[in-house]
Amino acid sequence: MDDDQAIAYDLAHLASAVQAARSALNYARKGELQLKLAQAYVADVVHQIVSNSLGRDYCFPLNSSEREDFIRFFTKYREPNFVASLADTPGDRGLEGEFELLQDAFRRFATEKLMPVADEVHRGNLDVPEEVISDLGEMGAFGLSIPQEYGGFAAGGGNDYLAMVIATEELSRGSLGIGGSLITRPEILARALLKGGTEEQKRSWLPKLASGRLMSAVAVTEPDFGSDVANIQTTATRDGDGWTINGVKTWCTFAGRADVLMLLARTDPDRTKSYRGLSLFIIDKERSSGHEFLLEKTHPSGRGARGRIEGRAIDTIGYRGMHSFEVSIQNWWVPNENLVGGDNGLGKGFYFQMEGFENGRIQTAARAVGVMQAAYEQALKYANQRSVFGRHIVDYQLTKVKLGKMAAHIQAARQFSYDVASMMAKGEGVLEASMVKAYVCKAAEWVTREAMQIHGGMGYAEEYTVSRLFVDARVLSIFEGADETLALKVIAKRLLESN
């Protein structure tokens, strides 16, 4: 595959677009507007397939009758006036009953509590307001996909992940940095614990995570190992009734405010064992605010070097509020009970964290949908207010086509995220979780770019929300599996293996 990376990458993204088109077609059955949005979206996917097949018949084969059908279809439904007609009709979410109520509650929270402070936190590089965290805890946001028996709200049916996805989208519409992303870390740790934790660990940690009393951060990436996680160097060495941790982690988002770090470390000194030598730990720490922290503690024996954890926030262009830290850990001792899975979990940390990251991916796709939705709303509002050459921008065909295409793509992305959530609740959808993450996060870049463009110069001004959405969207394809790594090492690999 390494010799044909460019084609494998296109294959992964095209296959993901086709999956999204399937979700759009299900949505099309719900009514006339839904059908039109799906037609506009599917036409773009079909257009992409035909474009990719040109000159590459050997890997994207289309016979002439398929090609003609495809061209006929996209000619009709990419027609500019058809797409323009969708500019201000984004379609409803198609949710019913309790899910509609849940969406409404989180939407109201985002509008009333997040939006008024989101730009201020971004511009000032401030901390997430404590009130936001406690309010979300009270709303049950951190326990939406944690099983009821462990203090969460997931009843064990096919909709267990859907509530989390809906809430995440709405919170991210308010703010990626101080809203939707707060759920990601507890979600990853909870999933890793459910996969590999002992019963005692699940009973001890999960209720605290579900209630929001315990906030977590994820310490996996290291300065020299990001995509190549299997080769991380941080060590955990047996020490009395516990383990002593040494190493440097980076990009550890929320490490300051978090009460615990979910940390991946090498417990087997034999480096040739690669990922099979890794184990997962829960590191207790004190909370701290701001951009730096330093924690120290004495070894339980009262002797030896004092343990230290030092964190320094990395300045970023967006995704502000939680702060992403470089964290240096020296001689930090944790008891045996903080090794996920106990002795049975030794060497299995990589698998446990991967389980967590699968959930992180569907959650990140929902974050991307929320950011896109916010960008679309901002663009539509501005286009209706601003006059250029004597007409409102929204009255120009080109603006309408952009907005119509945004509406169609956002709805397809949303429906795709709902469908993957349902698959995951049934224990399926591992490949689709990567597909939805890779595809939707990239789409968010295009949507926020166009939304900014519709604002003209004001899109580049910090005082307009759309500039925050643009820089926030940019991170989505980098973390939780960089786009290229996900496309090549997960999606294309699995597709090729299954054919």
Ligand X SMILES: Cc1cc2nc3c(=O)[nH]c(=O)nc-3n(C[C@H](O)[C@H](O)[C@H](O)COP(=O)(O)OP(=O)(O)OC[C@H]3O[C@@H](n4cnc5c(N)ncnc54)[C@H](O)[C@@H]3O)c2cc1C
* 325 binds ligand X, rule: CB under 6 A: no
* 417 binds ligand X, rule: CB under 6 A: no
**Cα 164 from Cα 145, distance rounded (Å):** 6
Burial class (CB in 10 A: 0-12, 13-18, 19+), 98: exposed
* 218 binds ligand X, rule: CB under 6 A: yes
The correct pick among 319, 357, 418, 439 for binding ligand X (CB under 6 A) is 319
Q: How far is the CB of 134 from ligand X (least distance, A)?
A: 22
Report 4-23 residues binding ligand X (CB under 6 A).
5
* 485 binds ligand X, rule: CB under 6 A: yes
Q: Are 232 and 245 in contact (CB under 8 A)?
A: no
Q: How far is the CB of 408 from ligand X (least distance, A)?
A: 28
Full 3-state SS string of 449-472: HHHHHHCHHHHHCCCCHHHHHHHH
What is the CB neighbour count within 10 angstroms for residue 444?
Answer: 32
* 226 binds ligand X, rule: CB under 6 A: yes
**Cα 289 from Cα 128, distance rounded (Å):** 9
What is the CB neighbour count within 10 angstroms for residue 439?
Answer: 28
What track of x and - describes contact with ligand X for positions 69 through 108 (by CB under 6 A)? Answer: ----------------------------------------
* 359 binds ligand X, rule: CB under 6 A: no
Q: Smaller CB distance to ligand X: residue 37 or 217?
A: 217
Amino acid identity at 262: M
Which DSSP symbol is given to 31?
Answer: -
The correct pick among 422, 482, 493, 494 for binding ligand X (CB under 6 A) is 482
Number of residues that bind ligand X (CB under 6 A): 21
**Cα 342 from Cα 361, distance rounded (Å):** 26
Q: Smaller CB distance to ligand X: residue 324 or 465?
A: 324
Part in contact with ligand X (CB under 6 A); list of ranges 44-52, 89-97, 168-176, 214-222: 214-222
Q: Are 371 and 444 in contact (CB under 8 A)?
A: yes
Pairing of strands 307-314, 324-335: antiparallel
Closest C-alpha to 103, from 138, 141, 55? 141
Amino acid identity at 173: R
Angle subtended at Cα 35 by Cα 32 and Cα 36, rounded to the nearest 5 degrees? 90
Part in contact with ligand X (CB under 6 A); list of ranges 40-48, 218-226, 373-381, 443-451: 218-226
Please say if 170 is a catalytic residue: no
Q: What is the DSSP string of 429-441?
A: -HHHHHHHHHHHH
Part in contact with ligand X (CB under 6 A); list of ranges 283-291, 371-379, 436-444, 474-482: 474-482
Q: Which residue in the list 187, 222, 432, 480 is annotated as catalytic?
A: 480
Q: How far is the CB of 269 from ligand X (least distance, A)?
A: 22
Q: Smaller CB distance to ligand X: residue 227 or 298?
A: 227
* 37 binds ligand X, rule: CB under 6 A: no
Q: How far is the CB of 367 from ligand X (least distance, A)?
A: 12
Q: Which residues of 341-363 are buried (b: 16+ CB within 10 A; e: fewer)?
A: beeebbbbbbbbbbbbbbbbbbb
Report 252-281 residues binding ligand X (CB under 6 A).
252-253
* 352 binds ligand X, rule: CB under 6 A: no
Binding site for ligand X (CB under 6 A): 5, 218-221, 226-227, 251-253, 316, 319, 324, 475, 478-479, 482-485, 488
Positions marked active-site: 480
